Amino acid sequence: MIFLKLFIVFSKIGIFNFGGGYAMLSLIQNEVVEKNHWLTNAEFTDIVAISQTTPGPIGINCATYTGYTSVINEGYPVWAAILGAVLASLSILWLPFILMLTISKFLLKHHQSYIVQSIFRVMRPAIVGLIAAAALLLMSKENFSSWDESPFAFIVSVLLFCFAFVGTRLYKIHPILMIILCGIAGLLIY
Amino acid sequence: MTEQTTYLELFTIFSKVGLFTLGGGYAMVPLMEKEVVTDKQWLNHEEFLDILAVAQATPGLFALNMASHIGNKLKGVRGGIVASMGVAVPSIVIILLIAMFFHAFKGNIYIEKIFRGVRPAVVALIAAPCFSMAKSARINRRNLWIPIVACLLIAAFGVSPIWIILAAGVGGFIYGRITSHHNEEHPIR
């Protein structure tokens, strides 16, 4: 029964995913391609590419797409596939949701306690380092192109980066507006 | 402010975050901070950093974990569900449409052009708030080594952020135990 299997597999992916997004991809690949043969490797790569160019968490994107495609491949009609997509997406969410809610309740109750505050006093600076690292790691060829590959694309990317950095930092331009502006710029320039 | 928040508002704000987060994960941080901290003031900057740490160290999707906690803080369990659905629903709808009409989307030259412009901007959006966050995190000369070491371990040595958060948590716990003991003996401070 494909629906039950989707539920079990994506519940498992949800709860065993630490670190979100990209860390989750190998887990999904293992379950969806290697073990259950719901998708081929090429199809999986397509989904990753699509996930990177569509909004929302990558885990949800993968779940929705896999849910839809696997049910279609089993020979069910479109409405059943839509159901499969929604089911897979919700399956990935529900266990972490319960866990996070429990932690959230504890936090709201004990947030001001001395020991919890000491923990956060050390965690907060670490998180800043974490985000800086994420930004550094994203300064890659995939996002900026490179000088060897295309000097033009590389310069445009660096300029857009500087524009977005200064715009949000100094002129407090809303991040959503910034994304739209740079999207339009990309459309016009390339 | 908390009393006036409606479920609809909660859903709208989080679906806005979900809709404009490209590539997932940290790309969501600047957007959520702007909407939830700066504009709506549902959380202050310290609380936002705290929940960022907790969401990162908890299994599941980062953005969803943040939404669950913030929703729960404002409107209880139902608020948590509404906020999470806010993040999830736009992605589910968009991917469903793509899965159904895949060939029209794949390799579309205009979409590729748009994203070539957007990608560097997303990196800038992640990098920019580090400086204001440094202030909220009370980074000073004595604890400046913490973000630097954390950043180096992850970016240069490929250490998983989970270990950094857990190590920081354990460090803070030990530090708290030592100093709270100290406080009991010398209750003046």
Both A91 and A24 in one domain: the answer is: yes
Question: Given this model, what pLDDT does residue A71 score?
Answer: 93
> What angle do helix axes B62-100 and B7-20 make, rounded to 10 degrees?
70
Partner-chain residue, chosen from B53, B117, B155, that has the shortest CB–CB distance to A123: B53
The minimum CA-CA distance between A79 and chain B, rounded to whole Å, is 11
Q: Could you tell me what percent of chain B has a pLDDT over 70?
A: 89
Q: How near does any CA of chain B get to the CA of A31, in Å? A: 16
CB contact under 8 A, A21 and B62: yes
The predicted pLDDT at position A127 comes to 85
A24 shares its domain with A53:
yes
Nearest one of A117, A59, A29, A131 to B161, comparing CA atoms: A131
**Residue B181, Cβ density class (10 Å: 0-12 exposed, 13-18 middle, ≥19 buried):** exposed
Query: Could you read off the pLDDT of B97-129 as tens digits, one per residue?
Result: 888 886 566 667 887 888 788 888 888 888 887
Measured CA angle at A78 (ends A77, A80), to 5 deg: 70
Residues 6+ away with beta carbon under 8 Å from B185: none
Residues sharing a CB contact under 8 Å with residue B27, sequence separation 6 or more, in sequence order: B21, B122, B125, B126
Could you give the CA distance from residue B56 to residue A163 in angstroms, rounded to a whole number? 29
Provide the chain B residues 73-102 that lie in CB contact (below 8 A) with chain A: 73, 77, 80-81, 84, 87-88, 90-92, 94-96, 98-100
Contact present, A106 and A37 (Cβ < 8 Å): no
The answer on A130 and A87 residing in a single domain is no
Same domain, A85 and A8: yes
CB-CB under 8 Å, B52 with A119: no
A126 and A182 fall within a common domain = yes
Q: How much is the pLDDT for B1? A: 47
Residues A10 and A97 grouped into a single domain = yes
Answer with the residue of higher pLDDT: B38 or B135: B38
Alpha-carbon separation of residue A172 from B29, B124, B128, B150 (angstroms): 15, 13, 11, 28
**Within this chain, do residues A10 and A96 fall inside the same structural domain, yes or no?**
yes
| ipTM for this model | 0.80
Same domain, A48 and A115: no
Same domain, yes or no: A53 and A84: yes
Q: How far is CA A31 from CA A8, A12, A13, in A?
A: 11, 9, 8
Which residue, A63, A81, A106, sits at the end of a domain?
A106
Contact A14 B46 (CB under 8 A): no
Contact call for A135 and B26, based on CB within 8 A: yes
pLDDT tens across B9-22, in order?
999 999 999 888 87
> Least CB-CB distance to B172: which of A122, A160, A164?
A122
Largest CA distance in chain B: 71
* A151 and A70 in a common domain: no
- pLDDT grade for B188, boundaries at 50, 70 and 90: very low
Nearest CA in chain A to B122: A179
Chain A, residues 6-45, CB within 8 A of chain B, namely: 14-24
Angstrom distance (rounded) from CA B179 to CA B177:
6
Chain B interface disruption, residue of A54, A115, A144, most B CBs within 10 A: A54
The shortest C-alpha distance from A70 to chain B (Å) reads: 11
B61 touches chain A (CB under 8 A): yes
Helix (H, G, I), strand (E, B) or coil at B95: helix
Residues pairing with B22 in the sheet: A55
| CA-based nearest distance A82→chain B, Å | 7
What domain count does chain A have?
2
A125–B147 C-beta distance less than 8 A: yes
Examine the pLDDT at B43 and tell me if it is beyond 80.
Answer: yes
Q: Closest Cα to residue A69, out of B93, B85, B102?
A: B102
Domain boundary among A86, A106, A126: A106
What is the extent of the structural domain holding A118? Answer: 111-189
Interface mutation target, options A10, A64, A94, A127, chain B, most CBs of B under 10 Å = A127
**Digit-coded pLDDT (tens) for B63-94:** 899 999 999 999 999 999 999 999 999 989 99
Residue of B nearest to A166 (CA): B128
Write down the H helix ranges in B21-160.
28-32, 45-57, 62-100, 102-105, 109-127, 129-136, 145-155
Quick check: helix, strand or coil at residue B50? helix
Walk along chain A (190 residues) in steps of 10 and give the mean pLDDT of each run. Answer: 93 77 72 88 77 79 91 91 95 93 91 86 87 84 86 93 91 85 92
Q: What angle do CA A71, A75, A79 make, to 5 degrees?
A: 55
**At which residue do the structure tokens 């009393």 appear?**
B3
Say if CB A50 and CB A65 are below 8 A apart.
yes
- A36 shares a domain with A76: yes
- pLDDT the model gives residue A29: 83
Q: How far is B90 from chain A (nearest CA, A)?
A: 7
Confidence of residue B61 (pLDDT cuts 50, 70, 90): confident
Residue where one domain finishes, among candidates A58, A90, A106: A106
Does A48 lie at the interface with B, CB-CB under 8 angstroms? Answer: no
* Residue A65 sits in the same domain as residue A22: yes
